[in-house]
Amino acid sequence: MSPDALAALHARCFTEAPRPWTAREFAELAAAEGTLLLCRPEGFALGRLAGPEAELLTLAVEPEARRRGIGTALVLAFEAAASARGAGEIFLETAVENAPARGLYEALGYRPVGRRPGYYARAGRPPLDALVFRKPLCAPAP
C-alpha cells in the first residue's frame, strides 16, 4: 500500500482517537529502519523494532471487513515477523474505550501492563487514557 492509501484507510478507521495519521507520517515510518509493515487488501499492521522489543504502532482494518479474522491475521503476521527479527516481546497501546481492540489483543494473549492518562487528544472533548499491553514472544529457533 502506498502512504496515501495507508492514510486513507487509517482515516476511515480512526475518526476520533487516536487521530488519523497523514501520508507523510506513513512515508516517514515506512522509510525508518526497523519498521514492519504488513498489508492485506482490507487492512494493515504497522510497527517497529527497538532492540529485543517490538511495538505495534497501529492496526487498521476496513470498517466493513471487520469481525472476519483480518485483524487477528495481521497481528499474528506482525508477531511472526517481529520474532523472526529477534523481538522477544511486543508492546502496544489502545484507547481505554476501544473495547473491540482490547478484546482482540486480550484474545491473542496481550495483557495490560500500564495506563497512560490523557494519552489520546480529542477535539473539543477530554483526552482518553491509553492502556499499554504486552505480550512475550517465543524466541526464534537458532
Spell out where the chain has E strands: 35-40, 43-50, 53-61, 89-95, 111-122, 125-136
Whether residue 142 is predicted with pLDDT greater than 90 in this model: the reply is no
Higher-pLDDT residue of 11 and 16 is 11
Do the beta carbons of residue 26 and residue 8 sit within 8 Å?
A: no
- Residues 15-40 have pLDDT tens digits of 777 788 899 999 999 999 999 999 99
Question: What whole-number percentage of the chain has pLDDT above 70?
Answer: 96
Q: What letter represents residue 136's amino acid?
A: P
CATH architecture type of domain 3-136: 3-Layer(aba) Sandwich (3.40)
- CA dist 125 → 9, 18, 98, 129, 131 (Å): 24, 13, 16, 13, 19
Whether residue 139 is predicted with pLDDT greater than 60 in this model: the reply is no
In this predicted structure, what is the pLDDT of residue 140? Answer: 47
Give the CA dihedral 9, 11, 12, 18, nearest 10 degrees: 120
In this predicted structure, what is the pLDDT of residue 14? Answer: 84
Do the beta carbons of residue 13 and residue 58 sit within 8 Å?
A: no
Higher-pLDDT residue of 67 and 138 is 67
Angle, alpha carbons 137-141-78 (nearest 5°)? 40
Ordered by start, the domain boundaries in the chain are 3-136
Whether residue 99 is predicted with pLDDT greater than 50 in this model: the reply is yes
In this predicted structure, what is the pLDDT of residue 16? Answer: 73
In this predicted structure, what is the pLDDT of residue 137? Answer: 92
